[in-house]
Amino acid sequence: MPFIPHTEQDIRDMLSAIGVAEIASLFDEIPASLRSNLPPSVPPQVTEMEITRLLHERARRDAQPLCFIGAGAYDHHIPAAVWELTTRGEFYSAYTPYQAEASQGTLQLAYEYQTMMVGLTGMDVSNASLYDGGSALAEAVLMAVRRNRRSSVRRVLMPTTVHPAYRRVTETIVRNQAIELETVGYESRAGTLNLAALERWSGEDVTALVIQQPNFFGCLEDVNSLVDWAHTQGALVIALVNPIALAVLTPPGQWGQNGADIACGEGQPLGIPLSSGGPYFGFMVCKNAHVRQMPGRIVGKTVDLEGRAGYTLTLQPREQHIRRSKATSNICTNQGLMVTAATLYMSLLGAGGLARVAAACHANTQALLAAVSNIEGVRPAFIGPSFHEAVLQLDAPARSALERMAGAGILGGYDLSQDYPELGHAILVCATEKRTDEDIAAYARAMQGALRVARRA
Amino acid sequence: MLIFEHSREGRRAYAQAPRQLAGLADIPESYRRRSPALLPEVSELQVVRHYTRLSQKNFSIDTQAYPLGSCTMKYNPRACNTLAMLPEFLARHPYAPDRFGQGVLACLWELQEILTAVTGMKGVSLAPMAGAQGELAGVAMIRAYHEARGAHERTEIIVPDAAHGTNPATAVMCGYKVREIATATDGDVDMAALKQALGPQTAGIMLTNPSTVGVFERRIEEIARLVHEAGGLLYYDGANLNAILGKARPGDMGFDVIHLNLHKTFSTPHGGGGPGAGALGAGERLHAFMPIPIVAREGEHYRWHTETERPQSIGRLSTFGGNVGVLLRAYVYTRLLGREGMYRVAEFATLNANYLMARLRAAGFQIAYPQRRASHEFIVSLKREAKEIGATAMDFAKRLLDYGFHAPTTYFPLLVAEALLIEPTETETKEELDGFVAAMCRIRDEARADLAFVKGAPYKLPVRRLDEVRAARELNLSWKPSV
Ligand SMILES: Cc1ncc(COP(=O)(O)O)c(C=O)c1O
């Protein structure tokens, strides 16, 4: 029997200890009208050898083209040690560390992770993870609304330069709490938040402003002015950031006069495989003053009976298992194993290595822009500083151009025409540190070919 | 020692990063970081050694029996991990066209089909990333349903007092008022309390069956009828389906929407706190509102259905498509079990729980609902031990660690005093269960002889009992270098 250790003798002994004749008797409290069998659509059991063959076949069908898509998930190199260690049974098969004494591995690691995130973001405290970047932004919005008591409305400014999927997730999660998500547009030349559109909110009651840096287009927002503007309004600032970019960009804790209040984002770039979109992890950090409104697990340092240092979950009265309907969030299981991978990744790279990764991504994306710059019908959509990603405008429908490039073995970018029709035939491109000069040359060739065909069509 | 304390300036794991630091000249100074982030500077060997040693400070299923009630700590088959981590699966960008993901989408589609069959619902969405997110989706769907029919006066969700904390927290996140109802002395829902709570303000009820006290809710059909007659809908918290897998289906019980924790019943790892997956199933009434994306099969082709195909969906819960890697592990597990294996999961999870309950009762421990069968789990109340000897559930829990058993869930559900919620799962041997009984008896003897000794436990772990009050009072949430 797969994974069940019982011998015939065990079964007899156990039934007799219980005092029933057969296993079926143990189900006698289920009303007869509800007892059922599984329908034939549940397939019969296969062996490990058979399922291995099947999954290898399916994996082979999923051989991946060269990836130049970013848009929130990035194809970075993951050091071999990261997943070798992450999948050790002691990390992999442990539960949430409720019994602290029996979970010092997971707990100390989480404390180290929190320290690393504080270091990277320049904020004061970190939680031990949320589900992913999109849901972390939703939680940040809820947190800001709970926290900003000076604001008597529930109004959050959500620029359209924030990742469209993040905006949708936030909408789904906060919809039933009477929160207004107000959009703010972008300047068509710079690709950054439109300050004139923001001015319309000057003097109004605003609960929080969300700023993504680099923004969804890869453009750099003027975060200093934005933060100071928001704080003058009495609004809290939610920074949405890419952790790799923070190795070289100003961390949200240092934006403007007083820094952002809450920062969050997608942890995937830190050693998590692309894996069709998950599991990843969301991170969240904040200023000390807001910690009691933070959702999720938080690990703290303490001492044991003998005065030795140890680690434990703390501030649990924020959480659903203690506060039930008054909790800061319903989150329980989060993405612990992904945090294990991220902690290993950050340890292996250090600040210097992370800066090299970030700079290499940026340099490669710039090289990509240069390589396509003299292709007829391709031009960068925005002027001004950008990082790591960029928008290209094409003179033919993005969808068919990308489709043709995919045929040539290249994922040429993310099609923006659905979410940003005003940009015309536009795509978002990204070349991580894994892309070589040859890859970039191949990209340019594929793009040229695709556009030639598309124009003819 | 922390990884930061191994750090020395200038030490690097050079193999891990690009050869050189590329120039950033085109990025204006004002956008650039002024000083490097505080991260450790260590060698690769130091990293490997440090985290290997840390891992050894954990209890885990792979190293200890872990009878943590409500958490279903069964063996996580290695094949599930190996196959989910095939390089092509890991390399796929979430925005890669569907045609480069036909293998993974086929697995997800089949998983949807299998879970639909197992639960008796009309359809399944794999979007939620954990149980609590499944709950959020389900209750949001209930709300969307009522709103679509203009039933704005339905403002309350009924939740039993024994419910998991995520239930009431979820109802509030969806803008509902929580109405708690009592549990009867036999462990089932108190029908009088239910009838009293139901009314035109009722949006729905959240129930767990088998319930969090470890018994099957025998009047579930009547409950479903009453709630539906009152115009409400039924949410099934299927975090733990282990005891009824293949034996009874939530769809047949009358539930409108359910979630399953694939990281429990379907054996994906807990990873020290996730990731999980909270697959959601919906019946006729709520099917159209399920969260996106959902895999569809069109002829021989699989693709994601999103806003366009599912306009009534409550929307997206994650940036991309949920915890796909976890779903792949669950898929492999369902295939390794097959239909026969699923029956056996329920049978042996129930056999182990009832055996352990019988043995503990025979050893003189008080069972919270002694007249009932155990489902996949049951509760021992240590009220008598606490009163007569002074040894609480927490003391037993901590001393069990010394005997090499992870502690059961303590003090949950709240309505049973000094509760240990015990869930052995089907993958533990009889010897292991006998060892647990022996340890419980030894601890009781030890407490009778020397209470202070038991209160000092654990002794054999990396740390002794930790001061949680101090952790909360003198917050230390990250390491700071001493200057
Ligand atoms: C009965 C019950 N409901 C809900 C949950 C929440 O699931 P998750 O932790 O995956 O959010 C759990 C587990 O923690 C549970 O045991």
Q: Which of A345, A360, A389 is the last residue of a domain?
A: A345
Give chain B as a 3 state SS string: CCHHHHCCCCCCCHHHCCCCCCCCCCCCHHHECCCCCCCCCCCHHHHHHHHHHHHCCECCCCCCECCECCCCCCCCCHHHHHHHCCHHHHHCCCCCCHHHCHHHHHHHHHHHHHHHHHHCCCEEECCCCCHHHHHHHHHHHHHHHHHHCCCCCCCEEEEECCCCCHHHHHHHHCCCEEEEECECCCCCECHHHHHHHCCCCEEEEEECCCCCCCCCCCCHHHHHHHHHHCCCEEEEEECCCCCCCCCECHHHHCCCEEEECCCCCCCCCCCCCCCCCCCEEECCCCHHHCCECEEEEECCEEEEECCCCCCCCCCECCCCCCCHHHHHHHHHHHHHHHHHHHHHHHHHHHHHHHHHHHHHHHCCCEECCCCCCCCCCEEEECHHHHHHCCCCHHHHHHHHHHCCECCCEECCCCCCCCEEEECCCCCCCHHHHHHHHHHHHHHHHHHHHCHHHHHCCCCCCCCCCECHHHHHHCCCCCCCCCC
In a domain? residue A215:
yes
Residue to mutate, A320, A330, A332, A333, ligand 1, most ligand atoms under 8 Å from C-beta: A332
In a domain? residue B70:
no
DSSP state of A83: H
* pLDDT on residue A1: 78
Question: Do A293 and A158 share a domain, yes or no?
Answer: yes
Question: Do B261 and B162 share a domain, yes or no?
Answer: yes
Question: Do B7 and B150 share a domain, yes or no?
Answer: no
Residue closest via CA to ligand 1's atom 9 equals A333
Among residues A130, A30, A251, the alpha carbon closest in space to that of B132 is found at A130
3-state helix, strand, coil in chain A (%, to 5): 45, 15, 40
Question: Do A42 and A114 share a domain, yes or no?
Answer: no
Q: Does B338 touch chain A (CB under 8 A)?
A: yes
Ligand 1 pocket, residue B323 CB under 6 Å: no
Question: Do A367 and A319 share a domain, yes or no?
Answer: no
Among residues B329, B319, B330, B332, the alpha carbon closest in space to that of B127 is found at B319
CB atoms within 10 A of CB B219: 15
Residues of B in contact with A305 (CB under 8 A): 456, 464-465, 467
Quote the CA–CA distance of A395 and A390 in Å, as a whole number. Answer: 17
Quote the CA–CA distance of B462 and B162 in Å, as a whole number. Answer: 34
Question: Do A178 and A319 share a domain, yes or no?
Answer: yes
In a domain? residue A2:
no
Q: What is the ipTM of this complex?
A: 0.98
- Tokens standing for residue A322: 């203690």
- Tokens standing for residue B301: 């082709």
Strand partners, B181: B160
* pLDDT on residue A262: 98
DSSP assignment of A387-421, as one string?
-S-EEEEESS-HHHHHHHHHHTTEE--EE-TTT-G
Among residues B53, B44, B37, the alpha carbon closest in space to that of B11 is found at B44
Quote the CA–CA distance of B403 and A349 in Å, as a whole number. Answer: 39
In a domain? residue A377:
yes
**A279 and B325: CB-CB below 8 Å?**
yes
Which is it for strands A125-126 and B257-260: parallel, antiparallel or unpaired?
A: unpaired
- B262 close to B326: Cβ distance less than 8 angstroms: yes
Q: How far is A252 from chain B (nearest CA, A)?
A: 10
Question: Do B393 and B466 share a domain, yes or no?
Answer: yes
- Residue A38 amino acid letter: L
Residues of A in contact with B273 (CB under 8 A): 95-97, 106, 128-129, 297, 333-337, 339
In a domain? residue A112:
yes
In a domain? residue A399:
yes
Quote the CA–CA distance of B380 and B72 in Å, as a whole number. Answer: 17
Question: Do A228 and A337 share a domain, yes or no?
Answer: yes
- Structurally, chain A folds into a number of domains equal to 3
- Tokens standing for residue B66: 């872990």
Question: Do A56 and A117 share a domain, yes or no?
Answer: no
Strand partners, B301: B298
Q: Which of A345, A379, A401 is the last residue of a domain?
A: A345
The residue ranking higher by pLDDT, A157 or B24, is: A157
In a domain? residue B231:
yes
In a domain? residue A1:
no
Dmax (CA) of chain B: 76
pLDDT in tens, A257-291: 999 999 999 999 999 999 999 999 999 999 999 99
Q: Is the pLDDT of residue A457 over 80?
A: no
* Residue of B306, B312, B320, B377 to mutate for A, most A C-beta atoms under 10 A: B320
* pLDDT on residue B216: 97
Q: Alpha-carbon torsion A227, A230, A234, A237, what sign?
A: negative
In a domain? residue B64:
no
- A163 close to A226: Cβ distance less than 8 angstroms: no
* pLDDT on residue A455: 80
In a domain? residue B480:
no
pLDDT in tens, A130-155: 999 999 999 999 999 999 999 999 99
Which residue does chain B place closest to A6, by CA atoms? B429
CB-based burial of residue B263 (10 Å sphere; 0-12 exposed, 13-18 middle, 19+ buried)? buried
Residue closest via CA to ligand 1's atom 16 equals B70
Question: Do B282 and B380 share a domain, yes or no?
Answer: no
User: The tokens 């950033």 sit on which residue?
Assistant: B24
In a domain? residue B69:
no
* pLDDT on residue B12: 84
Q: What CATH number is given to the structural domain containing B464?
A: 3.90.1150.10
Which of A73, A106, A350 is closest, CB to CB, to B320? A73
SS3 A170: helix
In a domain? residue A32:
yes
**CB-based contacts of B197: which residues, under 8 Å, 6+ apart?**
B156, B158, B179, B181
Which residue does chain A place closest to B170, by CA atoms? A330
Question: Do B51 and B119 share a domain, yes or no?
Answer: no
- Residue B185 amino acid letter: T
Question: Do B112 and B232 share a domain, yes or no?
Answer: yes
pLDDT in tens, A288-333: 999 999 999 999 999 999 999 999 999 999 999 888 999 999 999 9
Residue to mutate, B70, B173, B259, B414, ligand 1, most ligand atoms under 8 Å from C-beta: B70
Ligand 1 pocket, residue A363 CB under 6 Å: no
In a domain? residue B76:
no
- B419 close to B413: Cβ distance less than 8 angstroms: yes
Q: Which of B315, B337, B359 is the last residue of a domain?
A: B337
Domain that holds residue A384: 66-76+351-456
In a domain? residue B74:
no
Based on its alpha-carbon atoms, the radius of gyration of chain A, rounded to whole angstroms, reads 26
Q: Does A370 touch chain B (CB under 8 A)?
A: no
Q: Which of B337, B362, B378 is the last residue of a domain?
A: B337
Q: Which of A287, A314, A345 is the last residue of a domain?
A: A345
The 10 Å CB-count burial string (b at 16+, else e) for B36-73 is ebbbbbbbbebbbebbeebbebbbbbbbbbbbbbbbbb
Ligand 1 pocket, residue B212 CB under 6 Å: yes
CA dihedral B410, B416, B418, B423 (to 10 degrees): -40
CA dihedral B264, B266, B268, B269 (to 10 degrees): 30
Pairs of residues, one from chain A and one from chain B, whose beta carbons lie less than 8 Å apart: 688
Question: Do A330 and A446 share a domain, yes or no?
Answer: no
Question: Do B255 and B305 share a domain, yes or no?
Answer: yes
Q: Which of B290, B320, B337 is the last residue of a domain?
A: B337
Ligand 1 pocket, residue B166 CB under 6 Å: yes
pLDDT in tens, A202-248: 999 999 999 999 999 999 999 999 999 999 999 999 999 999 999 99
- A178 close to B143: Cβ distance less than 8 angstroms: no
**A96 and B273: CB-CB below 8 Å?**
yes
The 10 Å CB-count burial string (b at 16+, else e) for A290-305 is bbebbbbbbbbbbbbb
- Residue B359 amino acid letter: R
* Residue of A86, A324, A328, A419 to mutate for B, most B C-beta atoms under 10 A: A324
In a domain? residue B66:
no
Question: Do B21 and B47 share a domain, yes or no?
Answer: yes
Question: Do A182 and A301 share a domain, yes or no?
Answer: yes
Q: How far is the CA of A228 from the centre of ligand 1 (A)?
A: 41
Residues of B in contact with A109 (CB under 8 A): 51, 54, 272
List phi, psi (to 5°) of B184. -70, 165
Question: Do B129 and B213 share a domain, yes or no?
Answer: yes
pLDDT in tens, A418-444: 999 999 999 999 999 999 999 999 999
In a domain? residue A311:
yes
Question: Which stretches of chain B score pLDDT less than 50?
Answer: none
Question: Do A232 and A294 share a domain, yes or no?
Answer: yes
The 10 Å CB-count burial string (b at 16+, else e) for B95-118 is bbeeebbbbbbbbbbbbbbbbbbb
Q: Does A4 touch chain B (CB under 8 A)?
A: yes
Run of H or E residues at A264: strand A262-266
- Structurally, chain B folds into a number of domains equal to 3
Question: Do B98 and B210 share a domain, yes or no?
Answer: yes
Among residues A266, A291, A289, the alpha carbon closest in space to that of A279 is found at A266
Quote the CA–CA distance of A272 and A269 in Å, as a whole number. Answer: 6
SS3 A348: helix
Which residue does chain B place closest to A364, by CA atoms? B22
- Tokens standing for residue B262: 């694939």
| pLDDT, chain A, mean | 97
**A135 and B397: CB-CB below 8 Å?**
no
* pLDDT on residue B483: 67
Among residues B280, B256, B258, the alpha carbon closest in space to that of B203 is found at B256
Residue to mutate, B164, B173, B213, B266, ligand 1, most ligand atoms under 8 Å from C-beta: B164
* pLDDT on residue A364: 97
Task: Using the atom order of ligand 1, give the atom closest to the CA of residue A331.
Answer: 11
pLDDT in tens, B402-441: 999 999 999 999 999 999 999 999 999 999 999 999 999 9
Q: Does B458 touch chain A (CB under 8 A)?
A: yes
Q: How far is A385 from chain B (nearest CA, A)?
A: 6
Question: Do B88 and B217 share a domain, yes or no?
Answer: yes
Q: Is the pLDDT of residue A454 over 90?
A: no
Q: Does B85 touch chain A (CB under 8 A)?
A: yes
Q: Does B86 touch chain A (CB under 8 A)?
A: yes
Question: Do B130 and B42 share a domain, yes or no?
Answer: no
* Residue of B11, B212, B354, B466 to mutate for A, most A C-beta atoms under 10 A: B466
Question: Do A228 and A321 share a domain, yes or no?
Answer: yes
pLDDT in tens, B292-317: 999 999 999 999 999 999 999 999 99
Q: Does A58 touch chain B (CB under 8 A)?
A: yes
- B171 close to B157: Cβ distance less than 8 angstroms: yes
Q: Does A413 touch chain B (CB under 8 A)?
A: no
* pTM across the whole model: 0.98
Residue closest via CA to ligand 1's atom 15 equals B239
Question: Do A91 and A53 share a domain, yes or no?
Answer: no
- B220 close to B172: Cβ distance less than 8 angstroms: no
Q: How far is the CA of B103 from the centre of ligand 1 (A)?
A: 30
Which residue does chain A place closest to B52, by CA atoms? A85
Question: Do A174 and A31 share a domain, yes or no?
Answer: no
Q: How far is B230 from chain A (nearest CA, A)?
A: 22
Q: How far is the CA of B259 from the centre of ligand 1 (A)?
A: 10
Q: What CATH number is given to the structural domain containing A163?
A: 3.40.640.10
Domain that holds residue B382: 346-471
- A273 close to A343: Cβ distance less than 8 angstroms: no
